[in-house]
């Protein structure tokens, strides 16, 4: 009986982001990207999910105009048909029944006597994904015989190169050990000759020893160390001050995420939708698409919390990752 109404609602949702049924509510579409279901090994195409919002009850005339243009009805006939459709919906819901809208979903009352909506997932209202269906995919695996053949080849290569590698490691250790021994012996002999020369030169009278000793060579290294340490001590406070200055600078918090309640091709429709939600928000343009922002957050965790709160108010939103420039 109401097939024309079902047809008009579906047609509007293919071109627009929402459609209002006066005195009943509004059907709102949300874009969702393609999904990879690893568990079921399936790739689902991008689609538009339809939800129901009971706060959208003001007549925007879009459904009535579609009935007039497509079905050839007068304005009075279209208005009467919509009112009859709304009465039929509430009649079934008040009797504890469900009301099915063809190619869209099912309306019903929950335990609090509020209208709920279950969308038919098999229906895709994304015109850009027309004709696309879910695709089954399985991971590619090489044949077992080929894998065994490759493993045998790898074992053969390892067995061929392993002795050479071990031999090279042993030779390297042996050469390093010999070099260390030679250096140690050379150092011992040089120390021995230096000590013998010192004993020969120091075999003088005590007076000559006092005049011959020179204390400047022993002081030069110490003075050099003192100079270097003083330079280090003078530089450390500068570095510490730089670190303190860097700690004083706190990064400004930038809004990284936004809750979007709807996307529209027309700025006028976006502003109209925002006013009907009775929430503080704003409309932003993205590539000729106007999105309704109702909340901006710094962290994704904060955005998820607000999304759950709006869900309790029967307001469906989705989270958008913002660029730093926004």
Q: Is the pLDDT of residue 214 over 70?
A: no
SS3 241: helix
Residue 20 lies in a domain: yes
Residue 203 lies in a domain: no
With both helix axes pointing from N to C terminus, report the angle between 62-71 and 75-94 in degrees, rounded to the nearest 10.
120
Residue 142 lies in a domain: no
Domain count, the chain: 2
Residue 269 lies in a domain: yes
Structural contact between residues 322 and 34, judged by C-beta atoms closer than 8 angstroms: no
From 80, 115, 136, the end of a domain falls on: 136
Beta bridge pairs of residue 119: 105
Going by C-beta distance under 8 Å and a sequence separation of 6 or more, which residues neighbour residue 116?
52, 107, 108, 109, 110
Q: What is the CATH number of the domain that holds 268?
A: 3.30.70.1070
* H runs (alpha helix) in the chain: 3-15, 62-71, 75-94, 144-201, 206-212, 216-248, 267-277, 300-312
Instruction: Between 107 and 35, name the one with better pLDDT.
Output: 107
Q: What is the pLDDT of residues 192-209, one digit of tens each?
A: 445 544 444 444 434 333
Beta bridge pairs of residue 18: 28
Residue 71 lies in a domain: yes
Q: What is the pLDDT of residues 44-102, one digit of tens each?
A: 778 778 889 988 878 888 988 999 998 898 989 989 999 999 999 999 999 999 999 98
Domain range for 91:
3-136
Q: Is the pLDDT of residue 108 over 90?
A: yes
Q: Is the pLDDT of residue 224 over 80?
A: no
* Percent above pLDDT 90 for the chain: 20
Residue 58 lies in a domain: yes
From 117, 136, 155, the end of a domain falls on: 136
Residue 127 lies in a domain: yes
* Percent above pLDDT 70 for the chain: 69
pLDDT at 152: 61
From 101, 136, 171, the end of a domain falls on: 136
For residues 9-16, give the mean pLDDT: 86
Residue 171 lies in a domain: no
For residues 212-226, give the mean pLDDT: 40
């Amino acid at each position: 009986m109401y097939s024309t109404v079902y047809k008009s609602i579906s047609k509007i949702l293919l071109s627009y982001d929402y459609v209002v049924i006066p005195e009943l509510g509004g059907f709102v579409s949300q874009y969702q990207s393609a999904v990879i279901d690893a568990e079921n090994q399936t790739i689902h195409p991008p689609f538009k999910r339809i939800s129901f919002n009971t706060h959208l009850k003001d007549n925007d005339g879009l459904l009535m105009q579609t009935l007039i243009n497509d079905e050839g009805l007068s304005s009075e006939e279209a208005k009467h048909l919509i009112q009859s459709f709304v009465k039929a919906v509430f009649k079934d819901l008040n009797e504890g029944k469900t009301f099915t809208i063809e190619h869209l979903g099912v309306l019903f009352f929950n335990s609090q006597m509020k209208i709920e909506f279950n969308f038919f997932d098999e229906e895709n209202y994304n015109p850009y994904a027309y004709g696309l269906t879910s695709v089954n995919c399985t991971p590619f695996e090489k044949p077992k015989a080929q894998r065994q053949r490759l493993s045998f080849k790898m074992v053969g290569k390892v067995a061929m190169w392993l002795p050479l590698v071990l031999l090279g490691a042993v030779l390297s250790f042996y050469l390093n050990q010999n070099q260390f021994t030679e250096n140690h012996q050379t150092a011992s002999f040089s120390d021995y000759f230096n000590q013998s020369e010192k004993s020969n030169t120091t075999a003088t009278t005590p007076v000559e020893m006092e005049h011959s000793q020179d204390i400047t060579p022993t002081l030069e290294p110490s003075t050099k160390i003192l100079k270097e340490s003083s330079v280090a001590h003078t530089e450390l406070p500068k570095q510490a001050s730089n670190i303190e200055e860097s700690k004083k600078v706190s990064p400004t918090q930038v809004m990284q995420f936004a809750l979007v309640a709807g996307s529209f091709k027309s700025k006028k429709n976006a502003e109209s939708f925002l006013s009907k939600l009775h929430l503080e928000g704003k409309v932003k343009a993205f590539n000729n698409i106007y999105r309704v922002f109702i909340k901006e957050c710094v962290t994704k965790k904060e955005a998820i919390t607000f999304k759950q709160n709006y869900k309790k108010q029967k307001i469906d939103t989705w989270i958008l990752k913002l660029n730093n420039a926004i």
